[in-house]
Amino acid sequence: MSSAPGPYPAPVGQTARRLEWSFLPPNLRAFIERKCGSPVVEAISQTSGFTPGFASVLVCADGSRHFVKAASVKAQRLFADSYREEARKLAALPPGVPSPRLLWHLDDDWVALGIEYVEGRAPHRPWRSEDLESALDALEVVADRLTPPPAGLVLDSAEDDFKPLVAMWDHVVATRPDLPHAEEAAALAAGYAEVVGGDTLVHTDIRDDNLLLDAEGKVWICDWNWPIVGAAWIDTLFTLVGPRGDGLDVESVLAARSLTRDVPAESIDRVLALLTGYFLKSADDPVPPTSPFMRDHQRWQGEVCWHWLCERRGWA
């Protein structure tokens, strides 16, 4: 890890192995078609992301389009639970949040979500400045509309949610004994709780595959599975990891954006160190058969965070 990270190693838009429409149970397909109001004539699987649940744009005989997710409670319990949580959180989002709306929700042998279809594309990879600015504009709207979070939506705090990540540096230190400044980085990460507190709903999973840009250039934020309550600037920092790895000047972005320009440098570094430990440790976990590129993605993200942290701290 002495050299800078290379190009993003995963095939953009082709990272997930998902269930196809024809493999869903007939009764579930019939239920979905009733909700759509017309027979499905085409299912366009969304192969980005890192989960194996069904996620397709359904084209119906009447010309309408619908975005549907589904996972089996028996065979894909972890992902069914994730979709159930996403439905709970989508239903609580107030008007004005740049997110597709939840239209209907099934919770039975399968968990299925009907979500508003948005005609759009993912940000370009490598990232481009104009796409990044649009994404950060959307995050400023989120911070404005979701501070405080919707009443009645119970969420973990950033302090509690991030706590397990601190110990991941133990693995990094043990498996990379020649990594310079690892102990200093681990100490930085250990102080995360002092800087991540806040009263904003934080998405925590802003990546190019969770964003859509419509024809007007507006960004829609998808996949609200893992929000927490914390500092309003956390999502902006997380979003900048991919663009940093793709060669954009993200330090100038931090200095210019309203959510980050007044955040102390030490606070940014603590969370960046926490992210580094998480990604580098997770990259060493077994490769999930349904997500063959997840560890490549995490390893690259970890290296990007590490080199960014070293540059910010002045570590050789």
Instruction: Round to whole Å and give the CA distance between 203 and 93.
Output: 12
The verdict on whether omega for the bond into residue 150 sits within 30 degrees of 0, i.e. cis, is: no
Residue-level pLDDT at 192:
98
Instruction: Round to whole Å and give the CA distance between 243 and 127.
Output: 5
Helix (H) or strand (E) holding 67: strand 65-72
What angle do the packed helices 294-313 and 182-190 form, to 10 degrees? Answer: 90
Quick one: DSSP state of residue 226? Answer: S
Residue-level pLDDT at 50:
85
Instruction: Round to whole Å and give the CA distance between 127 and 208.
Output: 8
What angle do the packed helices 182-190 and 168-175 form, to 10 degrees? Answer: 180
Instruction: Round to whole Å and give the CA distance between 132 and 124.
Output: 9
Instruction: Round to whole Å and give the CA distance between 269 and 314.
Output: 12
Quick one: DSSP state of residue 292? Answer: T
Residue-level pLDDT at 39:
98
CB atoms within 10 A of CB 258: 13
Which residues, including other chains, have CB under 8 Å from residue 81's CB and lie 6 or more apart?
A: 111
Helix (H) or strand (E) holding 57: strand 54-60
> What are the distances in angstroms from CA 260 to CA 34, 56, 127, 208, 292?
46, 35, 20, 20, 34
Residue-level pLDDT at 1:
43
Helix, strand, coil: what percent of the chain each, to 5?
40, 15, 45
What angle do the packed helices 265-282 and 182-190 form, to 10 degrees? Answer: 110
The burial class, CB within 10 Å (0-12 / 13-18 / 19+), for 57 is middle
Helices (H) and strands (E) in the chain, counts: 12, 9
- How high does pLDDT run on average in the chain? 95
Of the candidates 266, 239, 274, 267, the residue with the CA atom closest to the CA atom of residue 253: 239
The pLDDT profile of the chain, 316 residues, written as one tens digit per residue, is: 445 789 999 888 777 778 899 999 999 999 999 999 999 999 999 888 888 889 999 999 999 999 999 999 999 999 999 999 999 999 999 999 999 999 999 999 999 999 999 999 999 999 999 999 999 999 999 999 999 999 989 999 999 999 999 999 999 999 999 999 999 999 999 999 999 999 999 999 999 999 999 999 999 999 999 999 999 999 999 999 999 999 999 999 999 999 999 999 999 999 999 999 999 999 999 998 888 999 999 999 999 999 999 999 999 7
Instruction: Round to whole Å and give the CA distance between 43 and 231.
Output: 39
φ/ψ of residue 98, rounded to 5:
-75, 75
